[in-house]
Structure 1
Amino acid sequence: MGGNLSNMEHGHTSAKSLSSHILTFHSTAKWKAYFDASKETNKLMVIEFTAAWCGPCKYMDPIIQDFAAKYIKVDFIKIDVDELMSISQEFQVQAMPTFILMKKGKVVDKVVGAKKEELEKLIEKHQN
């Protein structure tokens, strides 16, 4: 039993383990398939629209990893606006980072900018 416990503790401290809670999409087709499937569940989905060159996005990275580890019933998705421009246009993303909170395929809330406290309040509000 002690061996299992130490493995679990180790898993929570590694950055790789934390980032595995965040899905990153690199193709529109894969995103569409995932998005369509998500409409069938009542699970909260937090989509982060980001860009490699975006300073505030980099600031939010460890925060989002913490949220993904903390709110395990929430799906965290990362979409690079330069890579999947059609998806960011579909969601009318104007600035980075933009966080869109969705349930059953519908937008329930939105946060524009690196606003940690506001985002966390909205995750808490919509997670159930």
Structure 2
Amino acid sequence: MRELKSLAEFETLKNSGKTIFFFTADWCGDCVFIKPLMPEIENEHADFTFVQVDRDEFIDLCGDLAIFGIPSFVAFENGIETGRFVNKDRKTKEEVTQFINTL
């Protein structure tokens, strides 16, 4: 999974096809729980580009997008938000897959 490097890259990616941003942090236990499952989720949903966003590095972006809990997922298609799975709860592979399937 690629990692977000800049706000300019965020703008480019959110406007380029189907992208899911995965908001996370190294210190977040629930994020550490889901991270090993992300490659499987990515492989099962190859029509999306997955981008990991470090919550601490991009705290202002998180505020702008109302990401107040992690791990969280926000999906865009060609610049339009198509869905969000945003809360502070632990997420299972099944829950993330169910979210993606609703997009």
Is TM (by shorter chain) over 0.5? yes
Shift of 1:83: 0.7
Alpha-carbon offset, residue 59 of structure 1: 0.5
The 3-state SS of whatever aligns with 1:118 is: helix
SS across alignment from 1:94: coil
Q: Which has the larger radius of gyration?
A: 1
> AA paired with 2:4?
F
RMSD: 1.6
TM-score normalised by length of structure 2: 0.83
2:2 counterpart of 1:23? yes
Q: Percent of aligned positions with the same letter in both sequences?
A: 23
> Partner residue of 2:98?
121
Which structure would you say has the larger RCO, counting Cα contacts within 8 Å and 6 or more residues apart?
A: 2
Regions of 4+ moved over 6 Å: none
**How many residue pairs are counted as aligned between the two chains?**
100
Structure 1: 5+ residue stretches without partners: 1-21
CA distance in 1, matches of 2:14, 2:8: 10
Is the CA contact (8 Å cut-off) linking 2:71 and 2:91 kept in structure 1? no
Q: Work out whether residues 26 and 84 of structure 1, in 8 Å CA contact, stay in contact via their aligned partners in 2.
A: no
Say whether the 8 Å CA contact 1:26–1:83 is kept in structure 2: no
1:1-128 superposed matches below 5 A: 22-36=1-15, 38=16, 41=17, 43=18, 45-111=19-85, 112=87, 113-116=89-92, 117-126=94-103
